[in-house]
């Protein structure tokens, strides 16, 4: 079977994420709450 892994590329400094993307991910991680119980793991989004 042929391997379909992407070839690594050298981004350098031009592959920076947009400010909106970083803000979205930070706000999502702040709103996410994970509760562990006997029955399993529950993920709750607090927005």
The continuous run of DSSP H or E covering 24 comes out as: helix 19-31
Residue 12, in any domain of the structure: no
| CA 23 distance to own-chain centroid | 12
CB-based contact 3:10 (threshold 8 Å): no
Q: Residue 21: what pLDDT? A: 94
Residue 25, in any domain of the structure: yes
The continuous run of DSSP H or E covering 37 comes out as: strand 32-37
Q: Residue 47: what pLDDT? A: 67
Residue 23, in any domain of the structure: yes
Q: Residue 36: what pLDDT? A: 95
Residue 27, in any domain of the structure: yes
Residue 13, in any domain of the structure: no
> What is the reported pTM?
0.55
Residue 32, in any domain of the structure: yes
Three state DSSP letters for 1-20: CCCCCCCCCCCHHHCCCCHH
Q: What is the pLDDT of residues 3-43, one digit of tens each?
A: 787 777 777 667 888 999 999 999 999 999 999 999 999 99
Q: Residue 24: what pLDDT? A: 94
Q: Residue 1: what pLDDT? A: 60
Domain assignment of residue 34, given as a range: 18-45
Domain count of the fold of the chain:
1
């Amino acid at each position: 079977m042929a391997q379909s892994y992407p070839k690594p590329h050298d981004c350098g400094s031009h592959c920076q994420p947009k400010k909106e993307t970083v803000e979205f991910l930070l706000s999502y991680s702040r709103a996410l709450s994970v509760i562990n119980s006997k029955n399993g793991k529950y993920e709750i989004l607090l927005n």
